[in-house]
Structure formats: C-alpha cells, structure tokens
Amino acid sequence: MEQYSRKMKVKVLDIESGKLISLLNEIDAKELGILPLERVQITNPKTGHKINTVADKTDTVVEENEIGLFEDVARLLEVKDGATVEVQASDKPKSVQFIKKKMNKGKLKESEIKEIVEDLSSNKLSEVEATAFVSAVYINGFELDEIISMTKALVENGNTLVLDVSPVLDKHSIGGTNGRSTMIIVPIIASAGYYIPKTSSRSITSSAGTADAMEVLAPVTLSMEKIKQVVEQTGGCIVWGGAVNLAPADDKIIKIEHPLSLDPEGQVIASVMAKKVSVGSKHVVIDIPIGPDVKIKTKERAEEMALKFLEVGKKFGINVEVMLTNGAEPSGSAFGPALEARHVMEILEGKHFDNLAKKSCELAGALLEMSGSTEPGKGHDKAKEILESGTALEKMREIIKAQGGKIFSSSAVKMAPFMKEIKSRANGRIYKINVRHCITIARIAGAPGDKKAGLLLKVKDGTKVKPEQPLFEIYAENKRKLELAEQFARSVDVIELDKTILQRIS
C-alpha cells in the first residue's frame, strides 16, 4: 500500500554503524507515523535508488525536516550532506513473518529460508529480528530439509571460488580448542597433488583461530582472485574466510551467536557445508572433537550431528566423512597465535611427532583414502610419510611465499618479550591439564589480539613432575598483562596432579 512521503534534508553523521539505521527528529517520526524500531524507506530522487533503514528517534542530533544517515548508509544511497531525499514509512521485510513462523515451531520452506538469508545478507533485518531468528533456530531446531535449504541459500548469497583445477579436498573442525591441524593437513594434501583452498576463522573464544596463527607466517586477508592463484599454483592455501564473503549471512548469524554462546546444530552444519560447496569441494573430512571443554560434549550428540553432515553432503554431491576425535586433552602444547604457528612449523620440520601431528595425519589420511589416493587403512601412514620426508614442510613454505609471507621456519617465529615460567610446587604425576584455564591465561596475557602472547605447556598428561620443575610458560607484550595472567594462573588448578601420589609421605 502506498505511503505518505516527505522530502527531507540529509545530515551525514560521521559514524560507520554497519547497520541500516537512520535518525529522525521526534516530530517528523510522529508525522510519518514511525514507531520505535520501525523502518523508513529513503529514496534518492536523482537516481531513484531506495533503501530501507530502521529509524531511531532523537530530539538532539537532527532538526525537524532533517534525516540523519550514518556514513555507510549515505554511501549506499549515494547522497551527501545537505542532499534532499524522499522519506516514508516502510513495511517490515517479508522475511519477518517467516522468522515468526520458526518461532511458532513451524517448518520453513526453501523459499522462506532463502528470503531470510537474502535479507540478512543485505542488512535488511534489524538486530532484534536477526536475533529472534537465531534464537528460534536454536530453540526449535532445523529439520534436515531446512538445513539443506539453509546451506543452499548461504551458498547462493555468497561468493564462490571457481578453480580451474581438481579435485578439491577440504577439512573442517567443529569447535576444537588449540592446535592447528589445518596448517599440517593443508601442506600434506597439497603435496599429494590435490587442491585444498582452506578458509579458516579467527578466534572467537579461544586463544587463537587458524587464521590468527597462519597470519603469524603470512597474510591471510586475500582476495578471491589471489586465493585462486595461490591454490592453482601451490595446491593449497590457509586464508581468513571473513575476507572473502563466502557466506555473509552466516557471518551475521555467528556475530549474534557468540555473545550468547549459541551453537544451533542445524545452523552450524549449514554454515560449514555452505563453505565447502562454495569452494567446490569433492571430498571433505569433518573433525568433531568430543570432550568436556569443547563444543560437543558427548559421543551421542556427535554421532547424531555426523549423520546430518553425511546427508547434507550427499545432497550436494560431496563425499563427506566424519571423524570423532578426542577433545578431552589439548591438541599440542601451544596456546596463542605465534606459539601455535611455531609449534606447527616444528612438526613440519620433524622436531616432534606429538598428538597434534598424529591427529593431523589421521585426518589427512582419511582424505587421501576418500580421494582414492591410498587404500583404506593406509592413509595415516601415507600422510606421515609425506610429513616425515620434509615434502610437507617445503609445500608449506611454498604456500607461505605464495600468500606473501616471509616466515619460513619455527626459529623465525618470535615470542612476546615478557615471559614467566610457572613451576610445580609438588611431586606427582600429571592427572589433568585444564584446557579452558590454559586458554583463559593465554587470553589474559593478550592472545589472540597480541599475536606473540600465549601459554606454552612444558609437560603433558601422565608426566611425572618434581617441585620447581617448569609446568608452563606465559608470554605477554607488557608486564601488566603478564602479571594479570600469572595472578589468574596461580588462583586456579591449571594442572592437577594425581591425588594418590600427593597423599604419599616422603
């Protein structure tokens, strides 16, 4: 239905809000019939370009007959300060009714999910509406059909990577903690002659994401063209997914999930699979760590999720295998971007073959088996062979170079200047290393923002320790952060010793 409209003068506000918001004077809002959180449609009369924004009200920032636009909105509309625009009340996007349907426990059709994803991608939904959607999906869940529709919609509303080479292999870990298996798997797979264009995230709640750790060695914010070039040349890449807009709607959903620590299973599956479809993957291995401190706590939940991954994969012609892995103990001894990157380089250089290296070879091995490169059961050994031969290290150096990086060895990775060693106060055998505490200490010390900050374990499960034996080191960019991290470390049990041994009188 047609709406009453008004000519108004633009006042550009020097803020980038990232949201489609405009500011109206209380009097104009009343006259146009705009209530809190309702929308106005703003038209640039010179171009006919229209944009819908949520209208906030003010009686200080804009005068009567003025409309306040944040810089990003003014840019989208191609208007400058002082320009005249047409303003009118505007209806909610149609997708709001589909969000309501999901809140009412309804099952969403493909077209409805598509509409929601489009509106999320183009910023048409307000924060309230987007949050209601995420909450409804978390509470009421998605059926398999809906996961498939969501995957499809995310792919259609994002960029895709079209490689002139094949086959494309990929891996994904669901909510692990530390240890960057990706940085070991990618060079192994690329060494075996396959293509693995890996996009990774930055850390949200941990001490480093794969993108943060890789960034210690090489730039990870690459354009789609550059990624294509790197992968076609070297076979692999390890880049930050946030830079290439594979699924912009998903980025918005994750931004809402994080403060509430939500992980709606259906959304997680769609989000992962959409990214695999977008880069043209043929064989994908999904790693689901299970443990008390990781996202998935029980084997039952992991199995249920695994079956859905297989189903969705089938729908999109992707060969998926899921590996349930042990998330109860830390993957490697490093927490923090530089420490984790150095640890990975040490593994590639053949300096350790620890549980992170083993897990990486298992996952890479599964991919090699799936692609037919090796016989079933021989994948791990083949991957280990590639790793131990030094071929994977050479490949990693090629990838670092192709991405524009300059750090090619573990010894070239520098740590933060302030370090504190935490020592054992008793005799005993290590009974449990608390991964969450390790992460918290690394974060207080400054990781992942300070790339060279973090925590390095000097012991592992089962190790016998004596008083004054170093348990772990904390690295920080300044004294204050180091002190705070140390204070926290001393206030909790980061490392628990076996109790029976502690009781013994010596």
* Catalytic residue list: 263
Backbone angles phi, psi at 504, to 5 degrees: -65, 140
How far apart (Å, rounded) are the C-alpha atoms in residues 454 and 474? 6
Q: Identify any residues that bridge with 334 across adjacent strands, giving them in sequence order.
A: 456
How far apart (Å, rounded) are the C-alpha atoms in residues 63 and 296? 53
Question: What does each C-alpha distance from 153 to 131, 158, 163, 274, 487 come to in angstroms?
Answer: 18, 9, 21, 8, 48
Interacting span for a second copy (CB under 8 A) from 128-136, 216-224, 334-342, 427-435:
128-136
Using CB under 8 A, which of 32, 270, 288, 363 touches a second copy? Answer: 32
Please tell me whether residue 497 binds a second copy under the rule CB under 8 A. no
Burial 432-457 (b: 16+ CB within 10 A, else e): ebbbebbbbbbbbbbbbebbbbbbbb
Using CB under 8 A, which of 38, 232, 311, 354 touches a second copy? Answer: 38
Which structure tokens are listed for 136? 């409804």
Please tell me whether residue 481 binds a second copy under the rule CB under 8 A. yes
Using CB under 8 A, which of 7, 94, 105, 351 touches a second copy? Answer: 105
Least separation in angstroms between residue 172's CB and a second copy is 21
Q: Count residues near a second copy (CB under 8 A).
A: 63
Binding mask 5-24 for a second copy (x = CB under 8 A): --------xxxxx-----x-
Please tell me whether residue 494 binds a second copy under the rule CB under 8 A. no
Which residue is listed with tokens 């809402």? Answer: 256
Interacting span for a second copy (CB under 8 A) from 40-48, 120-128, 364-372, 414-422:
120-128
Question: What does each C-alpha distance from 121 to 51, 114, 151, 156, 245 come to in angstroms?
Answer: 14, 10, 14, 11, 10
| Angle formed at CA 211 by CA 485 and CA 455, multiple of 5 degrees | 20
Using CB under 8 A, which of 44, 69, 113, 138 touches a second copy? Answer: 138
Question: What does each C-alpha distance from 368 to 29, 59, 306 come to in angstroms?
Answer: 62, 64, 20
Residue closer to a second copy (CB basis): 36 or 317? 36
Please tell me whether residue 66 binds a second copy under the rule CB under 8 A. no
Least separation in angstroms between residue 181's CB and a second copy is 23
Long-range contacts: 354-361, Cβ < 8 Å, 24+? 354/460, 355/329, 355/331, 356/179, 356/180, 356/181, 356/184, 356/331, 356/332, 357/184, 357/387, 359/179, 359/181, 359/287, 359/325, 359/331, 360/181, 360/184, 360/185, 360/188, 360/387, 361/184, 361/188, 361/387
Residue closer to a second copy (CB basis): 311 or 486? 486
Using CB under 8 A, which of 12, 61, 310, 328 touches a second copy? Answer: 61
Q: Which residues contact 452 (CB under 8 A, 6 or more apart)?
A: 336, 337, 338, 414, 415, 416, 475, 477
Please tell me whether residue 487 binds a second copy under the rule CB under 8 A. yes
Provide the 10 A C-beta neighbour count for residue 414.
12
Provide DSSP, 23-46: EEEHHHHHHHTPPTT-EEEEE-TT
Please tell me whether residue 96 binds a second copy under the rule CB under 8 A. yes
Least separation in angstroms between residue 17's CB and a second copy is 8
- For helices 248-260 and 265-278, the axis angle rounded to 10 degrees is 150
Please tell me whether residue 37 binds a second copy under the rule CB under 8 A. yes
Residue closer to a second copy (CB basis): 162 or 204? 204
Using CB under 8 A, which of 135, 210, 267, 424 touches a second copy? Answer: 135
Please tell me whether residue 395 binds a second copy under the rule CB under 8 A. no
Please tell me whether residue 300 binds a second copy under the rule CB under 8 A. no
Question: What does each C-alpha distance from 163 to 132, 225, 251, 506 come to in angstroms?
Answer: 37, 10, 23, 66
Binding mask 224-263 for a second copy (x = CB under 8 A): -------------------------------xx-xxxxx-
Please tell me whether residue 419 binds a second copy under the rule CB under 8 A. no
Least separation in angstroms between residue 18's CB and a second copy is 8
Q: Identify any residues that bridge with 495 across adjacent strands, giving them in sequence order.
A: 433
Least separation in angstroms between residue 42's CB and a second copy is 18
Least separation in angstroms between residue 28's CB and a second copy is 10
How far apart (Å, rounded) are the C-alpha atoms in residues 182 and 285? 11
Least separation in angstroms between residue 279's CB and a second copy is 25
Residue closer to a second copy (CB basis): 141 or 470? 141
| Interactions with a second copy, residue window 426-455 (CB under 8 A) | 440, 443-444, 446, 449-450
Least separation in angstroms between residue 123's CB and a second copy is 15
Least separation in angstroms between residue 22's CB and a second copy is 12
Please tell me whether residue 120 binds a second copy under the rule CB under 8 A. no
Least separation in angstroms between residue 474's CB and a second copy is 13
Contact 150, 117 (CB under 8 A): yes
Contact 327, 293 (CB under 8 A): yes
Please tell me whether residue 35 binds a second copy under the rule CB under 8 A. yes
Contact 195, 233 (CB under 8 A): no
Q: Which residues bind a second copy (CB under 8 A)?
A: 1-4, 13-17, 23, 29-33, 35-38, 56, 58-61, 71, 92, 96, 99-100, 103, 105, 126-129, 131-132, 134-136, 138-140, 204, 255-256, 258-262, 440, 443-444, 446, 449-450, 480-481, 484, 487-488, 491
